[in-house]
Amino acid sequence: MEKTQDTQSNIIFELILKKYGTVIVLLLFIFLNILFTKNFFTISSILNILQQASVTALLSVGMTLVASTGNYDLAIGSYVALVGVICALMLRAGIPTFFAVLSCFVVVILFELVAGYIVAYLKIQSIIVTIALQTLVKGVATVITGGNVIQITDKSLLFFGQGRIFGIPFQIILTVVIIALFIFIMSRSVFSRKLSATGDNENAAILVGIKTQRIKMMAFMLCGLLSTFAGLIVTAKIEGADPANIGADFPLSAIAATAIGGTPLTGGKPRIVGTVIGVMIIQLIDTSINMNNIQYSYSLIIKAVIIILSLLFQNSKKD
Amino acid sequence: MVNLMKIRNKIIEKIYELLKNHTAFWILLLVVTLTSLFYDNFLISRNISNLLRQNSMLGISAIGLTFVVFTGGIDLSIPSVVALAGVVFAEFSGFGFYTALFAALFAAAICGMLNGILICRTKIAPFIVTLATYYAIKGIVYTYTRNFSIKVIDSPEVTFISRTFIHGIPISFIILVICGIVCALVLHYSSFGRHLLAVGGNEEAAHYMGINVNLVKTAAYTLSSTFTGLGGIILACRLIAAQPMAGEGWDMQALSAIVIGGTLLKGGKGSFIGTILGILTLGIVMNAISLQTSLSSWWQWIVRGGFLLIVVVVQGIVEIYNEKQKNS
């Protein structure tokens, strides 16, 4: 009798670990930071952390959608760079801010449409398609600027990265609203079911009558939409376009956050809340390392260990 | 009339068959022809031997990565393994060339084994595991070198493997070709090669056939890192210094070459010779940009990305056409 009880509690423990493993890691991290990092638990530093996390969060949510169809998008960093260049060029030509921003959305989503089409209809592995697009788009952006930084002084565009509403940075509000919207949509729309079905078992999804190719393209285009928002924030933050130095790290962090969040990279249910937790974990690693004056080289090792550990938590006793 | 149509169809079929089976070779031929037509100073021996020397290190690493791609995996830790092997080699180069070579290859092999064991034991996606080991190894290298480069103590062997030419062909390229041929022989004539393809084709089926899937995968990752280590050593020998930043971007470039070479990223099919042809193709495209002096260096990104995209799309279209032919 005692034995069965024991195994039962074991099973419950494992379930909790599997379901809330990442949350536990995040809480542990916050707890350690409150204990050891000076000035961590102040409003300004919390806002600072959220501000830094907002770009990665937007990109990672987009990546989550793509990953849930079983694909990667390594080009998002280049889109971020491209958005800056388009804005800078348009504004310099005297085009109103609204149309400059709009054209960013159009261009990036068109690129993602092409990527999605190649992946879905020509059935080429997304990783190599997006590596090619990443290189191409980065090249286009850098050739346009000649490798230099172009300054942007337009007030309404800079609001994306520097504006504040009631003392809260606008980018945090924007990110929270967008992500909340996506969580809401993904929890009840048919699209989300189709997305999971496509990633889980594509053949079955086709047999059920889902147009999986369209779903894949949609996922890529939504990812493009989110990357454009991220690009606008980054452009406003650095007050200019700097395609030579921006965007290389974004796709890898986004994929890491997605994986930590529990979305299977081979395709399956998109877990946006998990991804947001993953983003927070990665951001907290960076922040706590910065605030404690730990060397960059150690931060890489710590990052690696935490990525593996938080995935181990989820995968423990899966079989 | 009917006869003529038949003959025509047969000729088209033959050409199509040839194109289909040796895509990488045809792409290379096309690129070589175009480049030598447009640039007079492309086909001179100095340019060619320089081109071969520049690309052979990346090529050796791509040969290693091909093993991993055969199993359907990916190895993002390549850049840091290049740096690590270089640093270990530089540190041990005072004890003689062969000691240093052995130590560096050993260090690289350990990294690969770690990758393989983590991937097989934890069942975490290879993309994430190797991303994590990329960060970790890079961190170790930065911590150890404090971001300075380390001098390699010069010896006749160091000069031999990195800066010697036989009739204009660099030794490092000969090493690449030997590696490619040996790996191709292993792939076609050993049980390990067949197991590798079986695991890549269908892991579960391979498991039920009695293949030790974990062992095969771990071996693939170990080989990938070992070859990458060799590439890193030759790079360090060429520069007479090990740089902690060495190898950045090699993973993506190697992957591009492998895809151009006709290896499927989902695993189960491909060739080592194709990888070498892919490396040469990419190298020549890069070379052509540097010969076109009117373009800024940023153009290499556009050309590389655009070229890769075109090749991949054409491959995809050919594949779809193939399937349609098979079905009808």
Percent of chain B with pLDDT over 70: 97
Please report which residue ranges of B190-249 form alpha helices under DSSP H. Answer: 191-201, 203-208, 213-239
Average pLDDT along chain A:
83
Q: From the list B127, B132, B320, which residue is nearest A304 (CB)?
A: B132
Q: Contact A259/B128, CB-based, under 8 Å?
A: yes
Helix axes A170-188, A43-67, angle to 10 degrees: 40
pLDDT for A188: 82
Contacts of A308 in chain B (CB under 8 A): 118, 122, 124, 129, 132
A15-73 pLDDT per residue, tens: 776 667 778 778 887 888 777 777 777 778 888 888 888 889 999 999 998 988 888 88
pLDDT for B116: 93
pLDDT at A219 > cutoff 70: yes
Which range has the worst mean pLDDT, A159-163, B1-5, B7-11? B1-5
* Burial category of B58 from C-beta neighbours within 10 Å (exposed 0-12, middle 13-18, buried 19 and up): buried
Contacts of A117 in chain B (CB under 8 A): none
Q: How far is A68 from chain B (nearest CA, A)?
A: 14
Identify the residue among A71, A130, A135 best suited for mutation to test binding to B, counting B beta carbons within 10 A and taking the highest. A135
Q: Which residues pair with A300 in a beta bridge?
A: none
Chain A: residue nearest B134 by CA?
A: A304
pLDDT at B133 > cutoff 80: yes
Q: Contact B312/A128, CB-based, under 8 Å?
A: yes
B99-110 pLDDT per residue, tens: 999 999 999 999
- Looking at the predicted complex, does its ipTM rise above 0.90? no
pLDDT for A318: 45
Q: How confident is the model at residue B64 (pLDDT cuts 50, 70, 90)?
A: very high
DSSP A42-56: SHHHHHHHHHHHHHH
Q: From the list A122, A124, A135, which residue is nearest B304 (CB)?
A: A135
* Burial category of B120 from C-beta neighbours within 10 Å (exposed 0-12, middle 13-18, buried 19 and up): middle
Place of tokens 């801010």: A97
pLDDT at B292 > cutoff 80: no
Q: How far is A175 from chain B (nearest CA, A)?
A: 25
Mean pLDDT, residues A149-169 taken together: 79
CA A277 → CA A64, A71, A282, B132, distances in Å?
Answer: 12, 21, 9, 18
pLDDT for B249: 83
Q: How confident is the model at residue A315 (pLDDT cuts 50, 70, 90)?
A: low
pLDDT for A57: 92
Q: How confident is the model at residue A153 (pLDDT cuts 50, 70, 90)?
A: confident
A253-312 pLDDT per residue, tens: 888 888 888 887 777 788 888 889 889 888 888 888 777 777 777 878 888 888 887 777
Chain B: residue nearest A251 by CA?
A: B131
Mean pLDDT, residues A87-105 taken together: 86
* Separation CA A150–CA A52 (nearest Å): 22
Q: From the list A127, A301, A318, which residue is nearest B136 (CB)?
A: A301
| Residue ranges of E strands in A95-153 | 150-151
Mean pLDDT, residues B242-261 taken together: 87
Q: From the list B129, B303, B316, which residue is nearest A124 (CB)?
A: B316
Mean pLDDT, residues A5-17 taken together: 70
CA B321 to chain centre: 28
B146-202 pLDDT per residue, tens: 888 888 888 888 888 888 888 878 888 999 999 999 998 898 888 898 898 888 888
pLDDT at B225 > cutoff 90: yes
How many CA atoms within 13 Å lie on the side-chain side of B190?
10
* Separation CA A263–CA A4 (nearest Å): 32
pLDDT for B19: 64
pLDDT for A6: 65
Q: Which helix (H) or strand (E) holds A287?
A: helix A272-291
Q: Nearest CA to B58 among B293, B281, B305?
A: B281
Q: Contact A124/B143, CB-based, under 8 Å?
A: no
Q: Contact B132/A301, CB-based, under 8 Å?
A: no
Cβ partners under 8 Å of residue A39, min gap 6: A45, A291
Chain A: residue nearest B126 by CA?
A: A265
Backbone angles phi, psi at B22, to 5 degrees: -130, 50
pLDDT at B29 > cutoff 50: yes
Measured in residues, chain B has a length of 328
Chain B: residue nearest A319 by CA?
A: B123
Q: Nearest CA to A127 among A284, A22, A298, A255?
A: A255
Which range has the worst mean pLDDT, A26-40, B22-36, B201-215? A26-40
* Separation CA B287–CA B55 (nearest Å): 10
Chain A: residue nearest B306 by CA?
A: A136
Contacts of A140 in chain B (CB under 8 A): 302
pLDDT at B233 > cutoff 60: yes
Identify the residue among B128, B146, B250 best suited for mutation to test binding to A, counting A beta carbons within 10 A and taking the highest. B128
Q: Which residues pair with B170 in a beta bridge?
A: B165
pLDDT for B82: 94
What's the pTM value of the predicted model, to 2 decimals?
Answer: 0.85
pLDDT for B2: 64
Q: From the list B252, B266, B308, which residue is nearest A125 (CB)?
A: B266
